[in-house]
């Protein structure tokens, strides 16, 4: 059963707003936990989580925040709340524990969660979920039923026992006759019991209450509310479905890339343009706040690197280096990454592991006196629609495609945003994105001590400065030769060829150097792998 919607700028690309080292680990796990918490009365006695021994999660679930995120979601702690750092103490106060088991599981997705939830007053709940990158997730199995839950709808899970199965067609007819904003999927378990998964962009409580079900029918209903920023509408009619169609529309109507982004998100969410701009303003200001906080200097005990971003200004004052756009981009990119590593508030654009690229490049390229919130919002929107095509065709998850899908994607998005910021056309922005991504194909993900710090910081800086150079090339008229959509396809081919040891497992590259192994022992003594 597949119900995945086209990607959204706010849900899939520009976010989430979060604390934690990794969006694909911390934020996705948090959202999975929030769904579980909604399902039944949250009187858990124990939660058992199984990871496949060959998966990325087997080596990174502690260091990259899966344990923190899942616990926070189960406990009802917001991922923006600084208190989520103290999740272990909250678990003790709530009298349940989470056990992690590294074993062999059937689903071999690198970010697969096989979860058993034990309750005081009901049977266990068994869930299979995957993290798909950038904080997005999908629940694939609910007990023995196949589902597709990604947290973007108000959902109702209506379970009907096998002996009442002949009544489900009547229930379906009633629902379809009363509700227009509706998606309805049916699934059977091995015993012939039925699950009707009802999805809508608005609450259906009144219609569900009006559902006349004979008393002899054995059924159960669960309501789930959205856990991602912008709920979807059930019927989406996009203004374009490919890069080629988008650029044709831009040429025909003389639209900028940010105009196209607003048009796309309006059709996807049903929101009007003013609300979309307001939502992006909030993101821009959070990114600016992360830069300001990082430049003051950050600290956090469980961290390899101390503050680095402050070193740029010190070196400029001593005339060791010159103050340039490039040095400013380095400082700003570092500042955002350091806030992430100190559990501060960041926006994962398009992931937490690459959160420094877009903000560092866009803010670093302008003088403070020239800052215009309106123009910066437009640049971020342009970056967002550029990322949509990657989300739609492939992934932002380094566990699947290496660091090229994180910092490489961020660089493409930043390059397009820079062209928008400098008054370039939609075609020039997409050309810049293609060149930026071409330059970074094949970058591996080899985090030292399985922490999102080294070499992640350097790769973010490389991606941000690459974005600047690519935007200048595009504005000057350089030919990208390979179109953006084909470059994305090439990235997917390269990613599929990368061994798992180079896809965020910490089992290859710099992570396996003598220094890397030494740091692993230092920072991961308590982790069981």
Last residue of a domain, one of 224, 258, 290: 224
pLDDT digits (tens, 9 = 90+) for 245-292: 999 999 999 999 999 999 999 999 889 999 999 999 999 999 999 999
CA-based nearest residue to 479, from 438, 449, 528: 438
Q: What is the mean pLDDT of the chain?
A: 93
Can you give the pLDDT at residue 296? 97
The verdict on 249 and 146 lying in the same domain is: no
Distances in whole angstroms, Cα of residue 468 to Cα of each of 163, 338, 410, 422, 476: 64, 21, 12, 11, 12
Residue 296 tokens, joined: 């003051």
Mark whether 73 and 34 lie in a shared domain.
Answer: yes
Residue owning tokens 């071409």: 438
- Same domain for 152 and 81? yes
Nearest to 420, CA basis, from 262, 192, 183: 262
| 238 occurs within a structural domain | no
Model pLDDT for residues 315-356, shown as the tens digit of each residue: 999 999 999 999 999 999 999 999 999 999 999 999 999 999
One domain for residues 70 and 200: yes
Nearest-angstrom CA–CA distance, 126 and 114:
8
What pLDDT score does 215 carry? 56
Query: CB atoms < 10 A from the CB of 156, how many?
Result: 21
How far apart CA 17 and CA 11 sit, in angstroms, is: 10
Alpha helix segments (H runs only) across 394-455: 398-401, 407-421, 426-439
- Taking Cα atoms as reference points, which of 416, 348, 347, 408 lies closest to residue 381? 416
Q: Are residues 118 and 215 located together in one domain of the fold? A: yes
7 in a domain, yes or no?
no
Q: What pLDDT, on the 0 to 100 scale, is given for residue 165?
A: 75
Same-domain pairing of 122 and 247: no
Domain limits for position 92: 22-224
Give CA–CA dist 293/280, Å, rounded.
20
Which two tokens mark 121?
């007053």
Answer with the one of 191, 224, 257 that is the final residue of a domain. 224
Assess contact for 379 and 486: CB atoms under 8 A. no
Q: Say what the pLDDT of residue 515 is.
A: 98
Alpha helices in 114-163 (DSSP H): none
Which DSSP symbol is given to 416? H
Listed as ranges, residues in the chain with pLDDT below 70 are: 1-4, 210-219, 526-529
324 and 184 in a common domain: no
pLDDT at 528: 41
pLDDT of residue 161: 87
- 289 touches 346 (CB < 8 A): no
CATH number for position 204: 3.30.1330.90
């Amino acid at each position: 059963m597949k119900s995945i919607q086209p990607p959204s700028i706010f849900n899939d690309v520009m976010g989430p707003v979060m604390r934690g080292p990794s969006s694909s680990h911390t934020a996705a796990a948090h959202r999975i936990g929030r769904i579980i918490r909604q399902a039944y009365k949250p009187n858990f006695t124990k939660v058992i989580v199984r990871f496949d021994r060959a998966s990325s999660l087997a080596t990174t679930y502690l260091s990259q925040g899966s344990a923190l995120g899942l616990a926070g979601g189960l406990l009802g702690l917001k991922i923006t709340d600084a208190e989520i750092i103290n999740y272990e103490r909250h678990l003790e106060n709530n009298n349940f524990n989470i056990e992690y088991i590294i074993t062999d599981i059937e689903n071999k997705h690198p970010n697969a969660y096989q979860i058993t939830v034990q309750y005081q007053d009901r049977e266990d709940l068994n869930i299979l979920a995957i993290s798909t990158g950038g904080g997005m997730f999908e629940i694939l199995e609910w007990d023995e039923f196949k589902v597709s839950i990604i947290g973007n709808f108000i959902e109702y899970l209506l379970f009907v026992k096998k002996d009442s199965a002949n009544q489900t067609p009547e229930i379906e007819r009633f629902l379809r006759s009363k509700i227009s904003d509706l998606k309805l999927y049916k699934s059977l378990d091995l015993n012939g019991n039925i699950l009707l998964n009802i999805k809508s962009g608005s609450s259906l409580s009144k219609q569900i209450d009006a559902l006349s079900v004979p008393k002899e029918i054995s059924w159960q209903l669960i309501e789930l509310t959205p856990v991602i920023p912008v709920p979807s509408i059930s019927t989406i009619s996009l203004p374009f479905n490919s890069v080629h169609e988008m650029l044709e529309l831009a040429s025909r109507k003389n639209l900028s890339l940010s105009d196209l982004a607003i048009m796309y998100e309006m059709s996807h969410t049903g929101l009007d343009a003013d609300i979309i701009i307001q939502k992006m303003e909030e993101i821009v200001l959070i990114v600016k706040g992360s830069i300001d906080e990082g430049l003051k200097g950050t600290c956090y005990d469980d961290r390899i690197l101390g503050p680095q971003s402050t070193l740029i200004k010190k070196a400029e004052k001593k005339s060791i280096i010159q103050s340039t756009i490039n040095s400013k981009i380095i400082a700003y990119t570092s500042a955002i990454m350091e806030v992430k590593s100190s559990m501060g508030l960041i926006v994962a654009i398009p992931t937490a592991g690459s959160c420094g690229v877009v903000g560092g490049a866009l803010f670093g390229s302008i003088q403070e006196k020239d800052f215009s919130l309106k123009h910066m919002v437009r640049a971020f929107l342009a970056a967002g629609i550029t990322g949509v095509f990657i989300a739609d065709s492939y992934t932002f998850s380094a566990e699947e495609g290496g660091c090229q899908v994180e910092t490489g994607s961020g660089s493409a998005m930043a390059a397009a945003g820079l062209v928008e910021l400098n008054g370039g056309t939609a075609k020039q922005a997409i050309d810049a994105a293609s060149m930026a991504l071409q330059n970074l194909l094949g970058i591996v993900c080899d985090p030292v001590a399985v922490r999102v710090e080294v070499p992640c910081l350097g790769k973010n800086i490389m991606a941000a400065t690459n974005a600047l150079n690519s935007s200048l090339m595009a504005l000057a008229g350089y030919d990208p030769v390979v179109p953006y959509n084909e470059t994305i396809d090439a990235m997917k081919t390269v990613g599929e060829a990368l061994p798992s040891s180079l896809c965020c497992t910490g089992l290859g590259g710099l992570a396996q150097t003598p220094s890397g192994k030494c740091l692993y022992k230092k920072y991961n003594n308590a982790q069981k792998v």
